Amino acid sequence: MARPEGVRVVRPDGTEVACELVHDGYDEDEDMDQWRIVGVSYRPGVDKLKVDVLPARTGISFEVDHR
pLDDT at 4 over 90: yes
Higher-scoring residue by pLDDT: 52, 44: 52
Which pLDDT score is estimated for 64? 76
Alpha-carbon gap, residue 21 to 9, rounded angstroms: 12
Fill in the DSSP letter of residue 32. Answer: E
What would the mean pLDDT of 14-27 be, rounded to a whole number? 96
Report the alpha-carbon distance of residue 49 to residue 29 in Å, rounded.
25
pTM of the model: 0.86
pLDDT greater than 90 at residue 33? yes
Report d(CA 2, CA 22) in Å as an integer. 12
